[in-house]
Structure 1
Amino acid sequence: MTKAMRAVVLDAPGPPEALSVRAVSRPDARPGWILIQVEAFGLNRSELHFRRGLGSFGSFPRIPGIEAAGVVVDAPGCEFASGTQVAALMGGMGRDFDGGYAEYVCVPASSVIPFSSTVDWATLGAIPEMLQTAYGSLRTGVDAAPGSTLLIRGGTSSVGLALAILAKRRDMTVFATTRSTAKADALRRVGVDHVIIDTGEIANAVREIVPGGVDGAVELVGTPTLADTLRATRAHGTVCFTGMLSDEWTVRDFYPIEFIPNGVRLTAYSGEASDLPAPVLQEFIDAVASGEITVPIGKVYRMDEIVQAHRDMETGAVTGKLVVRTAGSSHH
């Protein structure tokens, strides 16, 4: 007999109300795939895009969710022992196959990263995708040197906050932007050195503090601010295009000689689980456990509050990472 589980299902693109929580059959593990009991999952703007039907990826009906944190139930290929704590992310989760918005998820072994911790599940659920994106943007994207200067364009997003935390651990001087003066304190709390109120043009404000421009920048707002972010960065400095908070993804009539200042490097980062080494995840979680790092969680929801959670993500009502805790309904 097929076992049932609760999951969030999206039958077709639509508003937050298009997400419905219902009983579906639990997936079965198969060789090369890992069955995970999901304890918590973070929400991501990528799922917002998917829910709205933006981008040419995925099929319906679908359980969304590009990440999850939980415990291994079954690994037919013996890649992980049952009971191992794991994070699962990317690799087609929530697009090509059912994702993390569920009590159980089955994912390719390549998308699974093991860890061990006594930190609470809501906190653990907030970390994987946020850390992978921030770490990859810093290391692969910017190739940031310890002690250098970094501009985070879109600083109060969950990835922006995680970037600030990682950069401060590398003794970097951090500039971060927000459009809202009310959110400036959220940036200072994670160690941002220079909070810049984003008017759309901030390059001059940055250069008043560092006349030559910053060594590196991570663009999280998208193409509307990219040219200005490039102008805030020094020659031989690097701007990494990572996020599209503005939902604007393309540069129209891209003319590189006009768009990119002389000698400034433009890179991009869109990562996979393989870009987050297990020791990096473990070190971050251990630093959370010891109190060195606070995970910037905005709010924790129950699974049946998924519609409200998506509304909050869409309107930007909550600063920090949004997390759903699965437990407390049909098991435990």
Structure 2
Amino acid sequence: MYAITIPEPGGPEALQWAEVPDPVPGDGEVLVEVAASAVNRADLLQRQGFYNPPPGASPYPGLECSGRITALGPGVSGWAVGDEVCALLAGGGYAEQVAVPAGQLLPVPEGVDLVAAAALPEVVCTVWSNVFMVAHLRPGETLLVHGGASGIGTMAVQLAKAIGAKVAVTAGGKEKLERCAELGADILIDYREQDFVEEIKAATDGAGADVILDIMGAKYLDRNVNALAVNGRLAIIGLQGGVKGELNLNTLLGKRAAITATSLRARPLGEKAAIVAAVREHVWPLIGAGRIKPVVDRTLPMSEAAAAHRVLEESGHVGKVLLTR
């Protein structure tokens, strides 16, 4: 088969479409013929040599895909050859085929085409596990999403609105904020011109956000805690703003607040399977009912993955960038 390989870490030009050995499904795995994959920030880090796949995972980038099952490994039940699926991956999505643990498979949701389904697994599992399973966002609470126009952000807005929460977003520029508003965001904050702490306090009568979903890390750490409400929860899922920051613990203590930091890729198979099962139970019916949809900025041929990486690096996109076979 062909896959995107990274012979040497570097810029987008480091991505090479090359012939590689076919994957073979092991115990509890299925083989998926890939229809589409999606580009995530983690893929950019892997390309640069900063985020290697966990042991035993495919060496090729790509943390999600959609496609059709072409073979079942030993011990797999509940799936059949020919099923249309999308999948959460530890790697290998930028390829013609990928072996996937059966616990990380999802059926293509009703009303979503096979290619667009590739935009769902990583963002839905990330948002559901962090905002709902860990931070326990509840109806009537306020969620602040940093990077509201990103793939993660556009899904977080929709899911939070679907459960009856109030949603604030930060994004850069009027166009991105308007797209967030179309998805249901209530409070629009242009981080280039506005202080998100002041804006979220003003919009909540001084209370602050009950839950914050953060992709920035160190750069926003102190301000995020200041923006939290009493009993607030800060969920850190990205480090685009650095890895080391200072925090006034007295502020955190006074608010009886909590900070969590999680990643999805390296979790044990059982944990991933539990998240995928929860997503199938709680989110897939919302997608089938048309209340939530994948947001796709554009699609590019998989062999042009370098161009897709440049799109993400320029940060002009809204939603997901997909790679198609």
Structures share fold, TM-score greater than 0.5 = yes
TM-score normalised by L of structure 1: 0.86
Q: Does 1:208 align with 2:202?
A: yes
Q: 2:39 aligns with which of 35, 40, 43?
A: 43
Q: Does 1:260 align with 2:237?
A: no
After TM superposition, the structure 1 stretch with the greater mean CA deviation from structure 2, 99-108 or 55-64, is 55-64
CA deviation after TM superposition for structure 1 residue 20, in Å: 1.0
AA at the equivalent of 2:249: I
Q: Which residue of 2 aligns with 1:330?
A: none
Q: Distance in 2 between matches of 1:58 and 1:81?
A: 28
Q: Does 1:107 align with 2:104?
A: no
Q: Does 1:66 align with 2:63?
A: yes
CA deviation after TM superposition for structure 1 residue 70, in Å: 1.6
SS at 1:71's partner residue?
Answer: strand
CA deviation after TM superposition for structure 1 residue 109, in Å: 3.1
The within-5 A match list for 1:13-28 is 13-28=9-24
Q: Distance in 1 between matches of 2:108 and 2:297?
A: 23
TM-score normalised by L of structure 2: 0.87
Cα gap change, 1:325 to 1:57, in 2 (>3 Å): closer
SS at 1:260's partner residue?
Answer: helix
CA deviation after TM superposition for structure 1 residue 261, in Å: 5.5
Q: Distance in 2 between matches of 1:120 and 1:288?
A: 12
Equivalent pairs, count: 313
Q: Which residue of 1 aligns with 2:316?
A: 317
The within-5 A match list for 1:141-152 is 141-152=134-145
Q: Distance in 1 between matches of 2:317 and 2:106?
A: 28
Q: Which residue of 1 aligns with 2:49?
A: 53
The alignment yields a C-alpha RMSD, in angstroms, of: 2.4
AA at the equivalent of 1:260: L
Contact 1:230 1:261 in 2 (8 A): no
Q: Distance in 2 between matches of 1:297 and 1:56?
A: 26
Which residues of structure 1 form unaligned runs of 5+?
A: 327-332
Q: Which residue of 1 aligns with 2:28?
A: 32
Q: Distance in 2 between matches of 1:162 and 1:154?
A: 11
Q: 1:8 aligns with which of 4, 9, 25?
A: 4
Contact 1:164 1:174 in 2 (8 A): yes
Q: Distance in 2 between matches of 1:67 and 1:61?
A: 12
Cα gap change, 1:207 to 1:61, in 2 (>3 Å): closer
SS at 1:81's partner residue?
Answer: coil
Q: Does 1:86 align with 2:95?
A: no
Contact 2:109 2:117 in 1 (8 A): no
Q: Which residue of 2 aligns with 1:329?
A: none
CA deviation after TM superposition for structure 1 residue 201, in Å: 3.5
Q: Deviations over 1:185-205 (max 9, x none)?
A: 111011000101114742122
Q: Distance in 2 between matches of 1:275 and 1:260?
A: 30
Which residues of structure 2 form unaligned runs of 5+?
A: none
